[in-house]
Structure 1
Amino acid sequence: MDLGGLDGMSGGELLDHVDALARVQRETDVAILQAAYQHAVIHDADSIPSWQLRAPGGERPRRFGGVGTPLVAEFSPATLGGRLGISTHAARALMADAVDIRHRLSRIQARVVTGQAKVSYARFVARKTRDLTVEQADYVDERVEESVDGRLPWTRFVTLVEAAIKASDPDAAAAREDAEARRQFATPTHSTEDGMRGFYVRAPFPVISKLDAAVAFFAMVLAHLGDARSEDERRVTAVLVLANPVHAMDLLRRYQHWVAAQHPEAGKPTVDLADLMPAVVVYVHMYAGTDSDLVARVEDHGPQTETWIRQHLGPHARFTVQPVLAIEGQAPVDGYEAPDRQRQAVHLMGPADSFPHSPSLSRGQQLDHTIAYRKGKAAKGAGQTRIGNLGKLTVLHHRIKTFAGWQVQQPFPGIHVWRDPFGALYLVDHTGTRRLGEHDRAA
Structure 2
Amino acid sequence: MDLGGLDGMSGGELLDHVDALARQQRQTEVAILRAARQHAIINDEHSIPGWQLRAPGGQRPRRFGGVGTPLVAEFSPAALGGRLGISTHAARELMADALDIAHRLPRLQARVEALQVKVSYARYIARRTRNLTREQADYVDERTVESADGRIPWTRFETLVEAAVKASDPAAAAEHERVEAKRQFAQATSSTEDGMRGFYVRANLGVIAKLDAAVAYFATALAHLGDARSEDDRRVTAVLVLANPVHALDLLQRYQQWLADQQPPASKPAVDLADLMPAVVLYVHTYAGADTTDIGRVEDHGPVTETWIREHLGPCARFTVQPVLDIEGQAPVDGYEIPDRHREAVHLMGPADTFPHSPNISRAQQIDHTIAYRKGKAAKGAGQSRIGNYAKMTVLHHRIKTFAGWQVKQPFPGIEVWQDPFGALYLVDHTGTRRLGRHRDDGEAA
TM interval, short-chain normalised: over 0.9
Moved more, 261-270 or 277-286: 261-270
1:304 is displaced (CA, Å) by 0.5
Cα gap change, 1:424/1:207 in structure 2, threshold over 3 Å: closer, same or farther?
A: same
1:289 is displaced (CA, Å) by 3.9
1:12 is displaced (CA, Å) by 0.3
Q: Which residue of 2 aligns with 1:71?
A: 71
Write out per-residue CA displacement over residues 195-217 of structure 1, whole angstroms, 9 at most, x where no aligned residue: 22111100000100000010111
Q: Which residue of 1 aligns with 2:388?
A: 388
Residue 167 (1) aligns with residue 135 (2): no
1:351 is displaced (CA, Å) by 0.8
Instruction: Indicate conservation of the 8 Å contact 1:68/1:134, yes or no.
Output: yes
1:190 is displaced (CA, Å) by 1.1
Instruction: Indicate conservation of the 8 Å contact 2:423/2:438, yes or no.
Output: no
Q: Which residue of 1 aligns with 2:85?
A: 85
One-letter amino acid of the counterpart of residue 365, structure 2: Q
> Whole-Å Cα distance in 1 between the matches of residues 321 and 438 of structure 2?
47
Q: Which residue of 2 aligns with 1:287?
A: 287
1:264 is displaced (CA, Å) by 4.3
Instruction: Indicate conservation of the 8 Å contact 1:69/1:100, yes or no.
Output: yes
Give the alignment of 1:43-442 within 5 angstroms: 43-266=43-266, 270-290=270-290, 294-437=294-437
Moved more, 134-143 or 249-258: 249-258
> Whole-Å Cα distance in 1 between the matches of residues 275 and 96 of structure 2?
56
> Whole-Å Cα distance in 1 between the matches of residues 117 and 271 of structure 2?
58
One-letter amino acid of the counterpart of residue 18, structure 1: V
Q: RCO higher in 1 or 2 (8 Å CA, sep ≥ 6)?
A: 1
One-letter amino acid of the counterpart of residue 181, structure 2: A
1:293 is displaced (CA, Å) by 5.7
> Whole-Å Cα distance in 1 between the matches of residues 246 and 39 of structure 2?
67
Q: Secondary structure at the match of 1:435?
A: strand
Q: Which residue of 1 aligns with 2:29?
A: 29
1:292 is displaced (CA, Å) by 6.2
Cα gap change, 1:291/1:367 in structure 2, threshold over 3 Å: closer, same or farther?
A: closer
Cα gap change, 1:257/1:7 in structure 2, threshold over 3 Å: closer, same or farther?
A: same
Tell me how large the CA RMSD over aligned residues is: 1.4
Q: Secondary structure at the match of 2:228?
A: coil
Q: Which stretches in structure 2 are left out of the alignment for 5+ residues?
A: 440-446
Give the alignment of 1:6-25 within 5 angstroms: 6-25=6-25
Q: Secondary structure at the match of 1:411?
A: strand
One-letter amino acid of the counterpart of residue 313, structure 2: L
TM-score by length of 2: 0.96
Instruction: Indicate conservation of the 8 Å contact 1:407/1:420, yes or no.
Output: yes
Cα gap change, 1:367/1:268 in structure 2, threshold over 3 Å: closer, same or farther?
A: closer
TM-score by length of 1: 0.97
> Whole-Å Cα distance in 2 between the matches of residues 57 and 25 of structure 1?
40
One-letter amino acid of the counterpart of residue 356, structure 2: P
1:153 is displaced (CA, Å) by 0.2
1:437 is displaced (CA, Å) by 2.7
Instruction: Indicate conservation of the 8 Å contact 2:186/2:202, yes or no.
Output: yes
1:229 is displaced (CA, Å) by 1.9
> Whole-Å Cα distance in 2 between the matches of residues 266 and 62 of structure 1?
81
> Whole-Å Cα distance in 2 between the matches of residues 301 and 133 of structure 1?
27
> Whole-Å Cα distance in 1 between the matches of residues 183 and 232 of structure 2?
28
> Whole-Å Cα distance in 2 between the matches of residues 57 and 302 of structure 1?
45
> Whole-Å Cα distance in 2 between the matches of residues 187 and 106 of structure 1?
45
1:265 is displaced (CA, Å) by 1.6
Instruction: Indicate conservation of the 8 Å contact 1:257/1:269, yes or no.
Output: no
Aligned residues, how many? 439
Q: Which stretches in structure 1 are left out of the alignment for 5+ residues?
A: none
> Whole-Å Cα distance in 2 between the matches of residues 46 and 359 of structure 1?
46
Write out per-residue CA displacement over residues 242-293 of structure 1, whole angstroms, 9 at most, x where no aligned residue: 1111110011001111111122425777211111111111101111245966
Cα gap change, 1:18/1:293 in structure 2, threshold over 3 Å: closer, same or farther?
A: closer
> Whole-Å Cα distance in 1 between the matches of residues 234 and 30 of structure 2?
50
One-letter amino acid of the counterpart of residue 11, structure 2: G
One-letter amino acid of the counterpart of residue 235, structure 2: R
Moved more, 81-90 or 257-266: 257-266
1:438 is displaced (CA, Å) by 5.4
> Whole-Å Cα distance in 1 between the matches of residues 291 and 357 of structure 2?
36
One-letter amino acid of the counterpart of residue 358, structure 2: S
1:75 is displaced (CA, Å) by 0.6
Q: Secondary structure at the match of 2:239?
A: helix
Instruction: Indicate conservation of the 8 Å contact 1:207/1:316, yes or no.
Output: no
1:316 is displaced (CA, Å) by 2.3
Cα gap change, 1:6/1:169 in structure 2, threshold over 3 Å: closer, same or farther?
A: same
One-letter amino acid of the counterpart of residue 281, structure 2: V
Q: Secondary structure at the match of 2:145?
A: helix
Cα gap change, 1:373/1:187 in structure 2, threshold over 3 Å: closer, same or farther?
A: same
Write out per-residue CA displacement over residues 148-196 of structure 1, whole angstroms, 9 at most, x where no aligned residue: 1100100000000000001111111111111111111111111122222
1:369 is displaced (CA, Å) by 1.0
Percent of pairs identical after alignment?
Answer: 80
1:237 is displaced (CA, Å) by 1.2
One-letter amino acid of the counterpart of residue 134, structure 1: R
> Whole-Å Cα distance in 1 between the matches of residues 117 and 292 of structure 2?
33
Moved more, 301-310 or 280-289: 280-289
Write out per-residue CA displacement over residues 121-144 of structure 1, whole angstroms, 9 at most, x where no aligned residue: 000000000000000000000000
> Whole-Å Cα distance in 2 between the matches of residues 292 and 228 of structure 1?
50
